[in-house]
């Protein structure tokens, strides 16, 4: 069964450093997402991406975050200058259709980011 794959599975970084998390969405999917989950809390929406541009972003997705689809298969989340509170599990997700079409969203296994 097709899967969303993410790398790295775990990254430790120093505060202030830049981090890039990578994802390969399911191949025929057109909508891509990043979510995060702080330890012990619920999953929170960060951003959605469609047709090579951001479709929607949450309040969490401030100027230190950016997303990119650098080629036909990868989808990346960049955190420009990490803070301690950015420590979380980051999930990439993808779907065939968008908000209006009976959407089914599939998640990757996550990238655990620890900022020290």
Partner 1 sequence: GQQLNQSPQSMFIQEGEDVSMNCTSSSIFNTWLWYKQDPGEGPVLLIALYKAGELTSNGRLTAQFGITRKDSFLNISASIPSDVGIYFCAGQGGGADGLTFGKGTHLIIQP
Q: Of 12-20, 38-46, 63-71, 74-82, which segment contacts partner 1 by CB under 8 A?
A: 38-46
- Per the structure block, which two tokens stand in for 29? 């999917």
Whole-angstrom distance, CA of residue 22 vs CA of residue 51: 18
75 interacts with partner 1 by CB under 8 A: no
30 interacts with partner 1 by CB under 8 A: no
Question: Toward partner 1, which CB reaches closer, 13 or 37?
Answer: 37
Q: What are phi and psi of 35, to 5 degrees?
A: -125, 160
* Beta-carbon count within 10 A of 76 CB: 15
Q: Of 20-28, 63-71, 74-82, 98-106, which segment contacts partner 1 by CB under 8 A?
A: 98-106
Q: Can you tell me which of 11, 55, 66, 76 binds partner 1, judged by CB under 8 A?
A: 55
Whole-angstrom distance, CA of residue 66 vs CA of residue 76: 8
25 interacts with partner 1 by CB under 8 A: no
């Amino acid at each position: 069964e097709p899967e969303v794959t993410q790398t790295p599975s775990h990254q430790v970084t120093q505060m202030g450093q830049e981090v890039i998390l990578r994802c390969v969405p399911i191949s025929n999917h057109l909508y891509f997402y990043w979510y995060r989950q702080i330890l012990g809390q619920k999953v929170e929406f960060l951003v959605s991406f469609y047709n090579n541009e951001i479709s929607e972003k949450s309040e969490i997705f401030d100027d230190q975050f950016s997303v990119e689809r650098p080629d036909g298969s990868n989808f990346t989340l960049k955190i420009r200058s990490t803070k301690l509170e950015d420590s979380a599990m980051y999930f990439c997700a993808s779907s065939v259709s968008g908000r209006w079409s009976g959407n089914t969203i599939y998640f990757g296994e996550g990238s655990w980011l620890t900022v020290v």
